[in-house]
Amino acid sequence: MLDRPDPTNRANADIRRHVSPRKVKRNGIIAIVVALVVVAVGLTLRYYSGRKTAEWTQAQAVTTVQLVKLQNNQTSGDLTLPGDVRAFTSAPIYAQVNGYVKAWHADIGARVKAGDVLAEIDPKPYQAALDQAKGQMARDAATLANAKLDLARDQKLVELGGISQQQLSTQQALVNSDSGVAAADQAAVETAQINLGYTRIIAPFDGVVTSRSIDVGALVMPGSATVTPLFTVADQKKLRVYVNLPQTDASLITQGMTAHFTVPENPSRTYTMQLAASADAISTQSGTQLLQFQIDNDDGALKPGDYAEVHFVLPPGANVVAVPASALVFRDAGMMVATVDDNNKVSLKKVIIRRDLGTSVEIGSGLSLSDRVIDNPPDSLQQGDEVRVATEDAPAD
């Protein structure tokens, strides 16, 4: 017997066929809405992220600077400059004649007196030249003596009419000629004596031998700028100290002024020296004036060639602004400093330096205490650039 379909199941199937498309449509709409929401949220986040990145990039493009606090320098200070210590008298000693060194008698560090023999050049060739000159002078002196006797005889004969006046004139000319030869011989003897004396190298003054460049058997030649000196002798009992003073501090120079200095090998000791001379002119190359100080060195504590740190006491400055040297900007227009206005814009101001104090400088004109000065400004900074101030009022040196 065949099964017949249940009318109830068929009705339920029809209902399911009519209901499913509506659910699918609703679910699709929900999915689309969700997708749109996700897309909208993603675009929004991307927009804000891009905006934030742009703002960060723009912020990084603005240079961050640090300011220094300006000070009115109304107190006295200390100006430190390098000094060059030299012997009061120092002489490079060269040979004045050719020859081979026979002996030397003074080495470096030896204390010598004026006239002491430092070395000897073989004198035999110069002794022989002197003997030859003396022999020539003796022979020509005898010839001159005979000519003078003949002249005296001829003068008597002329008076008696025995010879002519012309013969007497001839004899007179011969005497004059022989006199000239004798004078030349005398000069030759003196020259030979001088050259013989030059074979002894002597100290020109009391001092210390600071260099020796010869040894026994060495061939020496007369000195010139290209020849190494045989010896150097220096008088170290008194020293000169040379200092190049900047033009801006030329007002410090007074007759008989004193200054203090130290040397690296004895930094705890301070030496006082007195001004002896001034170049009274400004060097166009360095913009400085050369000063020469003198100091006694009887104890030998100082050495020629020492590097000295010279200290000058500076008078107080009136209406002078002090800034660190790191704030200076070198441009085509001259010395400048970079300042920041109220709108954080750069303003380059030309200044005139009154005095260089080493780590800081005194500005004579171009700045006021109200200016905001940039420390260590980058070379790329230009007029009108926008900057960001990182730290205000960092104290100046």
Give bridge partners of residue 389 from the DSSP assignment: 65
The answer to whether 73 touches 320, Cβ cutoff 8 Å, is yes
Task: State mean pLDDT over 203-229.
Answer: 89
State how far the Cα of 233 lies from the Cα of 190, in Å rounded to an integer.
Answer: 28
Task: State mean pLDDT over 196-201.
Answer: 96
Given 167, 198, 229, the domain boundary residue is 198
Q: Which domain holds residue 325?
A: 65-77+318-395
- 265 CB burial (10 A radius; 0-12, 13-18, 19+): exposed
Strand 219-220 versus strand 334-340 pairing type: unpaired
State how far the Cα of 180 lies from the Cα of 164, in Å rounded to an integer.
Answer: 25
Taking only the tens place, the pLDDT of each residue in 247-274 is 877 877 888 899 999 999 999 999 999 9
Closest CA to 110 of 204, 207, 205, 229: 207
End-to-end CA distance of the chain: 118
Task: State mean pLDDT over 368-375.
Answer: 86
Spacing of C-alpha 346 from chain mean position: 34
Residue 335 DSSP SS3: strand
The answer to whether 290 touches 279, Cβ cutoff 8 Å, is yes
Residue 104: pLDDT over 60: yes
Residue-level pLDDT at 396: 43
Residue-level pLDDT at 52: 63
Q: What is the b/e burial string over 375-385, where b = at least 16 CB atoms within 10 angstroms of the residue's CB? A: bebeeeeeeeb
> Sorting pLDDT into bands at 50, 70 and 90, what band is 115?
very high
Strand 387-395 versus strand 63-69 pairing type: parallel
Give bridge partners of residue 112 from the DSSP assignment: 207
User: Is there a domain that residue 279 lies in?
Assistant: no
User: Is there a domain that residue 11 lies in?
Assistant: yes
The 8-class DSSP code of residue 62 comes to S
User: Is there a domain that residue 229 lies in?
Assistant: no
Given 136, 168, 198, the domain boundary residue is 198
Taking only the tens place, the pLDDT of each residue in 32-44 is 777 777 777 777 7
State how far the Cα of 28 lies from the Cα of 9, in Å rounded to an integer.
Answer: 29
Residue-level pLDDT at 24: 64
Residue 73: pLDDT over 70: no
Residue-level pLDDT at 1: 45
Task: State mean pLDDT over 134-150.
Answer: 92
Residue-level pLDDT at 21: 61
User: Is there a domain that residue 92 lies in?
Assistant: no
Percent of the chain with pLDDT over 70: 84
Task: State mean pLDDT over 112-136.
Answer: 95
115-124, 350-359, 366-375: least confidently modelled range: 350-359
The whole-chain average pLDDT of the chain stands at 83
Same domain, 72 and 30: no
Closest CA to 313 of 155, 119, 81: 81
**For position 351, which CATH number holds?**
2.40.420.20
Same domain, 41 and 71: no
Report how many domains make up the chain.
3
Look at the chain and count its residues: 397
User: Is there a domain that residue 334 lies in?
Assistant: yes
Task: State mean pLDDT over 318-337.
Answer: 81
Q: What is the b/e burial string over 342-362, where b = at least 16 CB atoms within 10 angstroms of the residue's CB? A: eeeebebbebebbbebeebbb
Alpha-helical segments (H) within the chain: 7-61, 124-160, 165-197
Same domain, 69 and 31: no
Element (H, E) at 238: strand 231-246
User: Is there a domain that residue 306 lies in?
Assistant: no
Residue-level pLDDT at 180: 93
User: Is there a domain that residue 284 lies in?
Assistant: no
Spacing of C-alpha 237 from chain mean position: 27
> Sorting pLDDT into bands at 50, 70 and 90, what band is 394?
very low
Residue 355: pLDDT over 80: no
Task: State mean pLDDT over 191-205.
Answer: 95
> Sorting pLDDT into bands at 50, 70 and 90, what band is 395?
very low
Task: State mean pLDDT over 4-23.
Answer: 54
Task: State mean pLDDT over 235-249.
Answer: 90
User: Is there a domain that residue 116 lies in?
Assistant: no
State how far the Cα of 274 lies from the Cα of 260, in Å rounded to an integer.
Answer: 9
Where do we find the tokens 């120092």? 90
Q: Which residues contact 315 (CB under 8 A, 6 or more apart)?
A: 76, 252
The tokens for 276 are 């002896």
Taking only the tens place, the pLDDT of each residue in 271-324 is 999 999 999 899 888 889 999 999 999 888 999 999 999 998 876 655 578 888
Residue-level pLDDT at 84: 95
Closest CA to 228 of 213, 247, 241: 213
7-11, 51-55, 102-106, 314-318: least confidently modelled range: 7-11
> Sorting pLDDT into bands at 50, 70 and 90, what band is 118?
very high
Residue 20: pLDDT over 60: no
Same domain, 338 and 380: yes
Phi, psi torsion values for 45, nearest 5 degrees: -60, -40
How many Cα atoms occupy the beta-carbon half-sphere of 51 within 13 Å? 6
Residue-level pLDDT at 117: 96
Given 178, 198, 218, the domain boundary residue is 198
State how far the Cα of 11 lies from the Cα of 19, in Å rounded to an integer.
Answer: 12
Task: State mean pLDDT over 350-374.
Answer: 80
Signed CA dihedral, 104, 109, 110, 115: sign only: positive
Same domain, 381 and 327: yes
Task: State mean pLDDT over 134-152.
Answer: 91
Which is more confident, 217 or 19?
217
Signed CA dihedral, 309, 312, 313, 315: sign only: negative
56-70, 199-213, 320-334: least confidently modelled range: 56-70
Same domain, 55 and 70: no
One-letter identity of residue 4: R
Residue 18: pLDDT over 90: no
The total of other beta-carbon atoms located within 10 Å of residue 292's CB is: 15
**For position 167, which CATH number holds?**
1.10.287
